[in-house]
Chain A
Amino acid sequence: AQSVTQLGSHVSVSEGALVLLRCNYSSSVPPYLFWYVQYPNQGLQLLLKYTSAATLVKGINGFEAEFKKSETSFHLTKPSAHMSDAAEYFCAVSDGTGGFKTIFGAGTRLFVKA
């Protein structure tokens, strides 16, 4: 069975500081991994995805994530936080087979202080 654990339900950073949102996964097969962002009263928007190509994945809005198989991690980072990054972030895993099913983490709410 697949699962996702996001460490920290809330993360607060100052504007301009490094953003690090942690995600660990469990999967019995090579996983597909995703990070999504959700702004208030909106659906989820894909930030980036890992599909077994490069282990360092670059996404939109300056975010990137590194797939580390040995640590079963897929942490999301951004060098410099902006006020507009304040939102909820979800890590997700899929086994990529037919009968598609994505498991989401509990989410991490990012606060950005001026």
Chain B
Amino acid sequence: KAGVTQTPRYLIKTRGQQVTLSCSPISGHRSVSWYQQTPGQGLQFLFEYFSETQRNKGNFPGRFSGRQFSNSRSEMNVSTLELGDSALYLCASRGGGRNNEQFFGPGTRLTVL
């Protein structure tokens, strides 16, 4: 079974631009969560999507948004990029049941100049 894939792996943008990151979950997984990882703040939860609906949201400004498609693939968008948005963005998918195990992708390294 293929794992969680994220594209692109690396991205360089400038302040004020916007960016879209993509995540393909493990086949059959309907839940996709996004996390931001930085040296200063650690791993912070952005949001979770389940069956195309945002089910949970972290404490991030409205510049961060996401969506999920009918095939469970998810995209995350950040508008009006700031230097502080430079981070590793991780996506995780989860299957059904109550074991709540998440499988993480390799991440997208975003650098904002």
Interface residues, chain A, with chain B CB atoms under 8 Å away: 32, 34, 36, 41-46, 49, 51, 90, 94, 96, 98-107
What residues on B are CB-neighbors of A44 within 8 Å?
90, 92, 104
Q: Which B-chain residue is minimally distant from A98 (CB atoms)? A: B55
Q: Is the interface of B mostly helix, strand, loop or mixed?
A: strand
Q: A43-B90, A44-B104, A100-B94 are in contact. Are A51 and B99 (CB under 8 A)?
A: yes
Q: A102-B33, A104-B42 are in contact. Are A43 and B98 (CB under 8 A)?
A: no
- Find residues 73-113 in chain B having any chain A CB closer than 8 Å to their own CB: 90, 92, 94, 98-107, 109
What residues on B are CB-neighbors of A32 within 8 Å?
99-100
Query: In the docked arrangement, what's the CA distance between A41 and B9, Å?
Result: 10
What residues on A are CB-neighbors of B102 within 8 Å?
46, 102
Structural contact, A100 and B107, CB atoms closer than 8 A: no
What residues on B are CB-neighbors of A101 within 8 Å?
33, 45, 48, 56, 58
Interface centre among B43, B55, B105 (most CB of A within 10 A): B43
